Amino acid sequence: MDLEVFFEENKKVNARLNGYVIPTDQPKRAGGDESAPEPFSLFLASIGTCAGIYVKSFCEKRGIDSSRIKIIQRHNFNPETRLIDRIELEAVLPADFPEKYRTAVINAMDLCAVKRHLANPPTIATTTKTEV
């Protein structure tokens, strides 16, 4: 699977993947137009939304209404490394959610492919090529 990154005006850097264009931009303080999320925000959102699809699928298979479930994602920023060093995902379940499935919801979130890739990160190689 190839992802193509291309540039537009100002600070817009977009990706083309599977027929979709995924827009990104920078905040105004960084010279952008704030027309789309920053790339790092998309990275963070991919974690929570990935966990969310597993929770949603878990609920659907059991006939549980998932419309009142939400996942809160918290980030701990380490000022020394200037990196996020901890991400917490918390499933907020409605009061009538079946007690017997609470642990299973955590297990479903842990199936997230993004989370699993972060636990065993791929090697990222960078190269250049001259167009002919």
Report d(CA 89, CA 44) in Å as an integer: 11
Mean pLDDT confidence for 22-28: 98
Give CA separation, 79 vs 82, 88, 118, in Å.
Answer: 5, 18, 21
Mean pLDDT confidence for 90-115: 97
pLDDT, tens digit (0-9, with 9 covering 90-100), for 35-89:
999 999 999 999 999 999 999 999 999 999 999 999 999 999 999 999 999 999 9
What residue numbers bound the domain in which 48 lies? Answer: 38-125
Contact 55, 108 (CB under 8 A): yes
Q: pTM score, two decimals?
A: 0.90
pLDDT of residue 1: 83
Report d(CA 5, CA 127) in Å as an integer: 14
77 shares its domain with 105 = yes
Cβ neighbours of 127 (radius 10 Å): 4
22 shares its domain with 8 = yes
- Predicted confidence (pLDDT) at residue 18 exceeds the cutoff of 90: yes
70 shares its domain with 5 = no
